[in-house]
């Protein structure tokens, strides 16, 4: 599993992009992004999908998780833990985790 930290701003509409360290065909994968507080409670989750902006993304393992302005405005400024998981039944596996810092506009 890869470790990664990033920052987003309230009111922005970022596209979070994750990639596998070793390219792999992910056509049939389902993925979920989780943002958790210090007590490990899920405060936000969103589904990921192979990137529509990267050539052959489903064949090499590049995923996008788009966030909307409304979703980021609802987040309070602080540091959260995040994880991005493969969530197919029987194949649940964390792919990336780390910290996400939310900052005020």
Please report the domains of the chain, with CATH numbers, ordered by start residue.
Answer: 2-103 (2.60.40.10)
Is the pTM of the predicted complex or chain greater than 0.85?
yes
What's the chain's Rg over C-alpha atoms? 14
Report the helix count and the strand count for the chain, using DSSP H and E: 2, 7
pLDDT of residue 105: 80
Cβ(33)–Cβ(42) below 8 Å: no
Which residues in the chain land under pLDDT 70? Answer: 1
pLDDT of residue 3: 83
Q: Hey, which residues does 44 pair with through a beta bridge?
A: 35
CA dist., res. 30 & res. 41, Å (int)? 21
């Amino acid at each position: 599993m890869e470790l990664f930290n990033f920052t987003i701003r309230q009111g922005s509409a970022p596209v979070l992009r994750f990639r596998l360290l070793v390219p792999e065909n992910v056509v049939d994968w389902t993925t979920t992004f989780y943002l958790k507080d210090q007590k490990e409670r899920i405060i936000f989750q969103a589904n990921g999908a192979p990137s529509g902006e990267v050539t052959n993304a489903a064949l090499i393992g590049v995923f996008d998780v788009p966030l909307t302005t409304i979703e980021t405005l609802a987040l309070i400024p602080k540091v959260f833990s995040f994880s991005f998981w493969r969530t197919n039944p029987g194949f649940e596996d964390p792919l990336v985790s780390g910290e996400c810092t939310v900052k005020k506009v």
